[in-house]
Amino acid sequence: MIEPGPHSVHGGGLAAAVRRFGGRPGEWLDLSTGISPWPYQLPPFPPQAWQRLPEPETMAALVETAGVAYDCAAAAQIVPAPGSQALIQRLPELLRPGACAIVGPTYGEHATSWTRAGHRVDAIAAPDQVTDEHRVLVLGNPNNPDGRSWPPEALLAASAALRARGGLLVVDEAFADLQPELSLAPHLDQPGLCLLRSFGKVFGLAGVRLGFALCSPGPLAARLVESLGPWPVSGVTIQMGLRALADRDWINLTRARLGRAMPKLHDMLTAAGLEILGGTSLFVLVAAADGWALFEHLAKAQILTRPFALQRAWLRIGLPRDDLARGRLAEALASRP
Ligand SMILES: Cc1ncc(COP(=O)(O)O)c(C=O)c1O
C-alpha cells in the first residue's frame, strides 16, 4: 500500500498524481476538491484591469458588492484577500498568543497557522467543548470535510461567552454560499466575530485567488488590511468579483444545478456500497473499508479523490459534472477488489 502522501494534505495536485499514477492530465477526472464543476464564465476584462494598479475606489466597490452578496450587517468590516487561505495565515499573527480551540477534524491550515503563530491549539469535537481558557474558537460552518453545521443561534451563544472574556469566534464559511441560512454575516453588528469566505468554491474559480474576511466592528479588519499591504488582489480579480458576486441569477441557477446533481451522486455511492458520512453541495465524505486503498484504486483509473492521513477509512469525493463523469466513477468503484 502506497501512502496517499501529499494528496492527504489538500485536494488538487493533479501533476503529482500524473507523475505517480500515469496518464495525461486531460484524461484525469479530478474529484479531489470541493470546487464547483460549473465555473462562472470569465467576463471580458477592461485593459486597465491588467495595466493599472487597482484604485481604492474599485476595491471599495468590491467590498460593497461582497457585503450585499454575503448579506452582511451594515456595520460589518470587509477585507478582500488573495483567497481565504491568506487570511487564515495572517489572522493568528495579529492576536496575542493564547489558547485556541479548533473544532475538528477540519481544514488543516487552521491548526497549522495558529500553531505557527505561537498559540496553543486544542482540538475539540464540538463548539460546546470550548473552555474558559480559550481566547479563540475556530470552526467551519458547514465544515470541511464532514459537512457538519451549527445553527447561527448556537454559534452566537458561543460567541457571547468568548466575547465576555475578550475572545474571538472565527468561522470558516468557505462552503456557506449554498447554505446562506448558516452564515453569521447578518449578525456582524455584534462584536467578536471574524468570518472567512472563499470566492473560488461555488464560482468554480479557485485559481482566481479571492476571499474575504467579514469582521465585526473593531480593530481587527484594519489590522488585516495592514498586514496584507496595498493591492492585495489584482485588478482582474476585482473585476471578476464585481461581476460574479452580483450575479444572483447565476447563483440561483448553480444552486439548482447542484441541488439536482448531489442526490444522484449520493444514490450512486450508496449503491456502490459506500457509507456516506456527510458533505455539502460540493463534496461527499464516505467511509470505505480502506480509504487509502480506494484512493489508489481510483487513481489507477485516473480519478483523483481526497484521502485522509489520520482517518484511513475516509475518502472525500467532489461532485462530478455530468452523467458521463459520474458513470466513470461508478464503473471504477464497481471494479474495486
Ligand atoms: C474549508 C476551507 N477554507 C478555506 C480554504 C481556502 O480556500 P481559498 O484560499 O481558495 O479561499 C479551503 C481550501 O480548500 C477550505 O477547504
Q: Considering only CA atoms, which of 248, 231, 296 is closest in space to residue 53?
A: 231
| Radius of gyration over every alpha carbon of the chain, rounded to an integer in angstroms | 20
- Which atom of ligand 1 lies closest to the CA of 211? 11
Q: What angle do CA 146, 319, 266 make, to 5 degrees?
A: 70
**What is the sign, positive or negative, of the torsion defined by CA atoms of 186, 191, 193, 197?**
positive
Ligand 1 atom with least separation from CA of 198: 11
Band of residue 6 on the pLDDT scale cut at 50, 70, 90: confident
Task: Check whether 166 has a pLDDT greater than 70.
Answer: yes
Alpha-carbon 198 to chain mean position: 6
Please report the atom of ligand 1 found closest to the CA of residue 206: 10
Q: Above pLDDT 70, what percent of the chain?
A: 99
Q: Give the Å distance between the CA of 87 and the centre of ligand 1.
A: 10
For the chain, where are the alpha helices, taking DSSP H only? Answer: 14-21, 47-51, 56-69, 84-90, 109-116, 152-164, 220-228, 235-245, 248-271, 291-300, 323-334
- Report pLDDT digits (tens) over 211-250: 999 999 999 999 999 999 999 999 999 999 999 999 999 9
Mutate to test the pocket of ligand 1, among 113, 198, 214, 283 (most ligand atoms within 8 A of CB): 198
Listing DSSP states for 213-243 in one string gives EEE-SSSHHHHHHHHH-S--S-HHHHHHHHH
pLDDT at 135 over 80: yes
Instruction: Report CA(2)–ligand 1 centroid distance (Å).
Output: 27
Q: What confidence tier does 17 reach under pLDDT thresholds 50, 70, 90? A: very high
Candidate of 10, 85, 179 to mutate for ligand 1, largest count of ligand atoms within 8 Å of Cβ: 85
Looking from the CA of residue 107, the nearest atom of ligand 1 is 1
Query: Tell me, what's the pLDDT at 315?
Result: 98
The pLDDT value given to residue 2: 59
In this structure, the residue with its CA closest to atom 6 of ligand 1 is: 85
Query: What mean pLDDT is predicted for residues 29-53?
Result: 96
* Helix intervals (H) in 194-322: 220-228, 235-245, 248-271, 291-300
pLDDT of residue 7: 86
Per the DSSP assignment, residues forming a β-bridge with 194 are 170, 215
Q: Which of 107, 171, 195 to mutate to test the pocket of ligand 1 (most atoms within 8 A of CB)?
A: 107
Q: Looking at residue 1, what is its pLDDT?
A: 55
Ligand 1, residues at Cβ distance < 6 Å: 83-85, 107, 140, 144, 172, 174, 198, 200, 206, 211
Spacing, Cα 230 to ligand 1 middle (Å):
22
Q: Name the residue of 89, 103, 201 to mutate for ligand 1: max ligand atoms within 8 A of Cβ.
A: 201
Residue 198 Cα, ligand 1 centroid: separation in angstroms? 6
Please determine, for residue 128, whether its predicted confidence score (pLDDT) is greater than 90: yes
pLDDT digits (tens, 9 = 90+) for 277-309: 999 999 999 999 999 999 999 999 999 999 999
C-alpha cell at 85: 487561505
pLDDT score recorded for residue 214: 99
Q: Tell me: pLDDT of 4 over 90.
A: no
Q: Is 316 helix (H, G, I), strand (E, B) or coil?
A: strand
**Closest Cα to atom 10, ligand 1: which residue?**
83
Q: What is the pLDDT of residues 248-279, one digit of tens each?
A: 999 999 999 999 999 999 999 999 999 999 99
**Pairing state of beta strands 99-103 and 77-81?**
unpaired
The pLDDT assigned to 231 comes to: 97
Please write the tens of the pLDDT for every residue from 58-108: 999 999 999 999 999 999 999 999 999 999 999 999 999 999 999 999 999
d(CA 27, CA 38): 18
Average pLDDT of the segment spanning 152-164: 97
**Closest atom, ligand 1, to C-alpha of 84:** 11
